[in-house]
């Protein structure tokens, strides 16, 4: 089987609980590698697009606030992992969606909680399947931000404003 890529987000609760190191260590034990990494301040637009499949759910508004960092800190760490069977390997390490039902030794089982408002604060996101992984990676990253890509790319001429460090 050829290598897969998958999107992992260390969510705002994972950031404030200082779990970044633990999570990266557990994921590196699976033998897959990081090919993209950045801190993102999640906009409403990005949050709603990421979770578009849940827009009819009663917990949607709270979920959007949670991933935007309104309950913790306004940033997430976005990672792209690459390797054989990467999607399922990561899902297994992070555990089930509901932190009360996830395997106790999984990341969500160890560190997740359900708030009194019913939000699953489950510390980390990972793509559910290959199709979602492709959609999510393309939503969160541009091709040049990845050390290697498994999806075809193309170049286009664009006019744009770039920022530089100001010279003294």
Part in contact with ligand DAT (CB under 6 A); list of ranges 2-10, 37-45, 81-89, 114-122:
114-122
Query: Does residue 48 touch Mg ion according to CB under 5 A?
Result: no
Count of residues in contact with ligand DAT, rule CB under 6 A: 10
Q: How far apart are CA 57 and CA 120, in angstroms?
A: 13
Q: SS3 for 125?
A: strand
Binders in 54-93 for ligand DAT, by CB under 6 A: 54, 59, 63
Q: Cβ closer to ligand DAT: 85 or 97?
A: 97
User: Cα–Cα–Cα angle for 132, 135, 150, nearest 5°?
Assistant: 95
- Decide: 6 and 153 in contact? Cβ < 8 Å: no
Binders in 82-101 for Mg ion, by CB under 5 A: none
Return the residue of 21, 104, 118, 152 that touches ligand DAT, per CB under 6 A: 118
Shortest Å distance, C-beta 8 to ligand DAT: 11
Part in contact with ligand DAT (CB under 6 A); list of ranges 34-42, 68-76, 81-89, 119-127:
119-127
Q: How far apart are CA 87 and CA 103, in angstroms?
A: 18
Q: How far apart are CA 88 and CA 80, in angstroms?
A: 14
Query: Does residue 128 touch Mg ion according to CB under 5 A?
Result: yes
Q: How far apart are CA 39 and CA 10, in angstroms?
A: 10
Query: Does residue 140 touch ligand DAT according to CB under 6 A?
Result: no
- H/E element, 34: strand 33-40
Q: Which residues bind ligand DAT (CB under 6 A)?
A: 54, 59, 63, 97, 118-120, 122, 125, 128
């Amino acid at each position: 089987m050829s290598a897969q890529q998958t999107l992992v987000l260390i969510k705002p609760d994972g950031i404030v609980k200082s779990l970044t190191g633990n999570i990266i260590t557990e994921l590196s034990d699976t033998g897959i590698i990081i090919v993209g990494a950045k801190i993102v301040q999640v906009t409403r637009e990005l949050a709603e697009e990421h979770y578009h499949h849940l827009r009819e759910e009663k917990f949607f508004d709270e979920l959007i606030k949670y991933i935007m960092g309104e309950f913790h800190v306004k940033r997430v760490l976005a990672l792209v992992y690459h390797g054989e069977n990467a999607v399922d390997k990561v899902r297994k390490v992070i555990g089930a969606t509901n932190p009360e039902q996830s395997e106790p030794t999984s990341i969500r089982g160890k560190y997740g909680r359900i708030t009194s408002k019913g939000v699953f604060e489950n510390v980390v996101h990972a793509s559910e399947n290959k199709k979602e992984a492709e959609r999510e990676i393309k939503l969160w990253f541009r091709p040049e931000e990845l050390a290697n890509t498994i999806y075809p790319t193309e170049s286009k001429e664009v006019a744009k404003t770039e920022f530089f460090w100001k010279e003294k």
